[in-house]
């Protein structure tokens, strides 16, 4: 009678151990989901960096092609003006 019960009990214990490893052990389902989230975050970060690199490449090609891009940058970033030009700054009116 006891011999007939040991086989199913042993199989249930083995199944329990395998289920434990599947859900909580090394490389478990929880680890898989965590890695999936990391991959999604890294993919988003890579897309942002690729977009930034494309903009930088466009800036570099503009600077290599002509002086107009250099002049535009000097005007916008450094506030430079040409000789003989007059600079006007228009401020918005206060609505009080």
**Count of CB atoms within 10 A of residue 69's CB?**
16
User: What range defines the domain where residue 16 resides?
Assistant: 2-78
Residue 96 has pLDDT above 70, yes or no: no
> Into how many domains does the chain fold?
1
Helix (H), strand (E), coil (C) string for the chain: CHHHHHHHHHHHHHHHHHHHHHHHCCCCHHHHHHHHHHHHHHHHHHHHHHHHHHHHHHHHHHHHHCHHHHHHHHHHHHCCCCCCCCCCCCCCCCCC
The mean pLDDT of 51-60, rounded to a whole number, is: 92
In a domain, residue 93? The reply is no
What does the pLDDT look like over 7-29, one tens digit per residue? 888 888 888 887 888 777 788 88
> Per the domain annotation, does 70 fall within a domain?
yes
Q: How far apart are CA 21 and CA 15, in angstroms?
A: 10
Q: What is the reported pTM? A: 0.50
In a domain, 94, yes or no: no
Whether residue 89 lies inside any domain: the answer is: no
81 and 87 in contact (C-beta within 8 Å)? yes
């Amino acid at each position: 009678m006891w011999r007939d019960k040991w086989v199913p009990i042993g199989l249930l214990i083995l199944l329990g151990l395998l289920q434990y490893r599947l859900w909580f052990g090394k490389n478990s389902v929880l680890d898989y989901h965590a890695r999936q989230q990391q991959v999604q975050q890294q993919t988003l970060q890579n897309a942002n960096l690729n977009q930034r690199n494309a903009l930088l490449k466009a800036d570099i090609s503009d600077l290599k092609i002509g002086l107009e891009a250099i002049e535009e940058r000097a005007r916008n970033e450094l506030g430079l003006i040409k000789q003989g030009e007059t600079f006007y700054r228009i401020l918005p009116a206060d609505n009080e």
